[in-house]
Amino acid sequence: MSDKKRLIQLIAGPALYFLCLFCLPSSVFATPESRSAIGTVLWMAYWWVTRPVDYAVTAFLPMAVNALFPMTGMPSVIANYASETVLLLFGASIITVSWEETGLDRRIASFFLRVIGDNVRGQLVFWFMLSVLLSAVLPNSVVCATITPIAIAMLKYVGQGDIEKSRTGSLLLLTIAYAVGVGGLATPLGGAMNLVTVDYIQQLTGHEYMYADWVVKFLPIMVILIVSNTIFMLAGTKRSDSLGGSREYFESEFKKMGKMSKEEWISLVVFVVAMVLSFARQLYKDILPGLKPAYVFIIGALVCFLFNRKDGKRMMVWKSVQGKVIWELLFIFAGGMAAGTLITGSGAAKAIGDFVAGIGVNGGIVAIGIFIAVPMVLANVTSNTGAASVVVPIVISIANGLGQNPIPYIYAATIGVNLAYMIPTSIRAIPVGYGLSAKYMLKVGWKITLMTFILMTLAGYLLMKYWPVFSA
C-alpha cells in the first residue's frame, strides 16, 4: 500500500466518525452519545476492511474514542478486553501452541485428512455439519474457539496456513463461523440470545416454554438454512478442488508417524478434557459453579507448563509460547464486543429499535422482513444477546399495538439475531484472528446475508400463514 493511499484511509476512518456525529438525524439518534457510537463502529469497520493499521490496533478504538468522547461507562468497555470469552480464547490458544511444540498438530491434521479425504467440498460439508450440530446445544463461542484450531492445524499441514492468501483456508474458516451461527438457532441451548426469546415468550404466555417445541417450530427454518448456506459455500469451489495429496497418501503419512509420544498424549488429553468439561457444563455447574468454560481452558493452559519431556527439558516454556499465541485474535474479539457495548450503552441500539417501531409497520411479510433485517444488522455490530434484548420487546409492543399475535414475529426476530455474517465482531472475530481477511469476510458476507434475508423472510411469512405450529 502506498503512503498516500494509507494516509487517505487513515483520515477516512475518523472522517466517518465525525460525519456520523454531526450529520446523523437527531430525530432518530437524539443524543450525541448514540451518534458517536454509530460513528465509532463505522470507523472500526472501515479500518478493518481497508487495513491501514493492523486489526488489533483498530480493536482498541472503542477505548480510545470513549475516553475522548464518552458514550458509556469506561469500566463496561474495558471489561470486554478481559471477558470470559477472551480468557477462553487465550487458554485455547496456549493449549493449541502445545500441539505445535509436541508435533501433535501434524498428527491431528493427517488424521482428519485420511478420514475425510482431501476434497475441498467434502471438507467444507464436514466442518459445517460438525459445527452446526455442536453449536445447537453448546455456546457458539466455545464451539468456534475449539473447532477452528483443529481446522487450522490441518490447513498448516497441507501448506495453506497463511489464511489470508489461501482461498480454501478462508472458505473453511468462514464455513465454521457461519455454521455456529446457524446451529445456534436450532435449540434454546444454542446461545443466550435464544434464552432471551424464551424468557419473553414465557412472560407473554404465562406458561413454561418447552425446549422441544422450539426444535419443532424451527425445523423447517433449519433445513432451509443448512441447505442454502452449504450450497452457497460450495458454489465457490469446483468438484476437483483438492487440498493436495490423496486419501492413501495421508494414510501413509499418518502411519509413518508411529506411536504418539508422551508429550503428544499430554497435549491431546488436556485439550480433550477441557473441551469435554466445557461441553458438559450442565452436568457439574451446581457442584462447581465457578468452573466455567473460560476457566477450564485457563487451567488446561497452566497444566501444559507442568510437564517435562523425556529428555528432562520442560515441555512448554513461556518465552517460546508467547511468540506463538495469537494475540491479535484476543484483541479483535474484545474490540468487536467493546463496539457492541458502545452501541448498547449509548442508546444507539434502542434508537434504532424505536425508529423501527415508529415507521408504521402493518404486519405481514413487510413486518417479517423488517423484524429479521434489523436484528441481523444489530447482531453484526453488537452481540447476538444484546440484539435480542433490544429487538424482542420492541417486536412484542409493535405486534400488540397492531392487535396481532406477536409469537411469529418474535421468532422472526430471533432468526435475525442468530444470523450475522459480515463484520468481525463476536464469534466472527475468531477466524479473522487466525488470519482471515476482514475485507474477504465482508465481500462474501453481504452476499450470503442478502440470500439468507430473502429466504428467511419468505420462509417466515409462509410458516406464519400456513403452518399453525409456528404461531402457536
CA angle 427, 428, 430 (to 5 degrees): 75
CB 72 within 8 A of CB 33: yes
Confidence of residue 403 (pLDDT cuts 50, 70, 90): confident
Q: What is the pLDDT of residues 226-256, one digit of tens each?
A: 999 999 999 978 888 887 766 777 777 778 8
- pLDDT number for residue 242: 81
* 3-state SS, residue 314: strand
Is residue 343 pLDDT above 90, yes or no? Answer: no
Q: How far apart are the C-alpha atoms of 307 and 262, rounded to whole Å? A: 10
Q: How far apart are the C-alpha atoms of 470 and 384, rounded to whole Å? A: 22
User: Which residue, among 289, 97, 129, 126, has the nearest Cα to 225 in the 3D structure?
Assistant: 129
Strand partners, 119: 242
CB 297 within 8 A of CB 270: no
Amino acid making up residue 206: G
CA angle 128, 412, 385 (to 5 degrees): 70
Distance of CA 393 to the CA centre of its chain: 24
- pLDDT number for residue 105: 78
- pLDDT number for residue 452: 94
* 3-state SS, residue 10: helix
Average pLDDT estimate for 109-124: 82
Is residue 360 pLDDT above 70, yes or no? Answer: no
Is residue 307 pLDDT above 80, yes or no? Answer: yes
Confidence of residue 363 (pLDDT cuts 50, 70, 90): low
109: its cell numbers: 491434521
CA angle 182, 332, 222 (to 5 degrees): 0
Place of cell 429499535: 353
Strand partners, 308: 314
User: Which residue, among 325, 257, 281, has the nearest Cα to 113 in the 3D structure?
Assistant: 257
Is residue 215 pLDDT above 80, yes or no? Answer: yes
What does R_g of the chain's alpha carbons equal in angstroms?
23
Place of cell 508417524: 257
- pLDDT number for residue 362: 66
Q: How far apart are the C-alpha atoms of 376 and 414, rounded to whole Å? A: 9
Amino acid making up residue 162: D
Q: What is the pLDDT of residues 411-433, one digit of tens each?
A: 988 999 888 888 887 778 888 88
Average pLDDT estimate for 79-98: 85
Average pLDDT estimate for 298-317: 89
Is residue 60 pLDDT above 90, yes or no? Answer: yes
Is residue 297 pLDDT above 80, yes or no? Answer: yes
Range ranked top by mean pLDDT from 218-232, 329-343, 408-422: 218-232
- pLDDT number for residue 168: 87
**Residues comprising the chain, all counted:** 472
Compute the mean pLDDT over every residue in the chain, rounded to the nearest whole number: 85
Higher per-residue pLDDT: 388 or 409: 409
**Helical pair 348-357 and 364-381, crossing angle rounded to 10 deg:** 170
Q: What is the pLDDT of residues 151-191, one digit of tens each?
A: 888 888 888 888 888 888 899 999 999 998 898 888 886 77
- pLDDT number for residue 449: 92
Higher per-residue pLDDT: 147 or 455: 455
Sign of CA dihedral 55, 61, 63, 64: positive
Provide, rounded to the nearest whole percent, the portion of the chain with pLDDT above 90.
22
353: its cell numbers: 429499535
Q: What is the pLDDT of residues 27-57, one digit of tens each?
A: 888 899 999 998 998 898 888 888 899 888 9
**CA neighbours closer than 13 Å in the CB half-sphere of residue 159:** 5
Strand partners, 314: 308
Confidence of residue 65 (pLDDT cuts 50, 70, 90): very high
- pLDDT number for residue 216: 86
CB 434 within 8 A of CB 163: yes
CB 16 within 8 A of CB 43: yes
Q: How far apart are the C-alpha atoms of 245 and 188, rounded to whole Å? A: 41
- pLDDT number for residue 299: 94
Is residue 11 pLDDT above 90, yes or no? Answer: yes
- pLDDT number for residue 213: 83
How many other C-beta atoms can be found within 10 angstroms of the C-beta atom of residue 405?
A: 14
- pLDDT number for residue 245: 66
- pLDDT number for residue 361: 64
